[in-house]
Amino acid sequence: MDETSRTRHAVDAYVDSTERRDWAALSELLAEDVIYEMPQTRERIRGKAAFLQFNSEYPGDWHLEVRRVVADGRQAAALLDARVGAEHQDACVWFEVSEQGLISRVTDYWPEPYEPPSGREHLVERW
């Protein structure tokens, strides 16, 4: 398996184990010194133990589904569908993988819906 395939596999397994709340499986994918960042809130979590705790304590009956994974050597990006009840939100997640194939950095973006500015109605359609 080449580096890109290994990275893609790690990202798929990351989403799958998180969705299943299989913290043992998730733990095996993570570097000990994994860094998790949410730039929108300027929050950072350091280390596997804290990151696993963050995920296991995360409130709500949330569900994750992969919509797209783009892998490139030891980097990847995933577009996820995150659902709580009937509410869907897209997440953009950036990954870095160590030489050993462990996930060493995760950067999460949670873009929220908003109303479009006026002045471009002549160019766009809405859905």
Residue 62 binding a copy of itself, by CB under 8 A: no
Residues 6+ apart with CB under 8 A from 108: 36, 37, 38, 91, 92, 93
Q: Should residue 86 be labelled a site residue for a copy of itself when binding is judged by CB under 8 A?
A: no
From candidates 12, 90, 98, 101, binder to a copy of itself by CB under 8 A: 90
CA distance 70 to 43: 25
- 72 counts as binding a copy of itself under rule CB under 8 A: yes
CB 90 within 8 Å of CB 82: yes
- Answer for which of 71, 80, 82, 106 binds a copy of itself (CB under 8 A) is 71
Closest CA to 105 of 2, 14, 18, 4: 14
Told to check if 92 binds a copy of itself by CB under 8 A, we report yes
Q: Site for a copy of itself (CB under 8 A): which residue of 2, 41, 61, 87? A: 41
Both tokens of residue 4?
Answer: 């890109």
118 binds a copy of itself (CB under 8 A): no
Least distance (Å) from a copy of itself to the CB of residue 71? Answer: 5
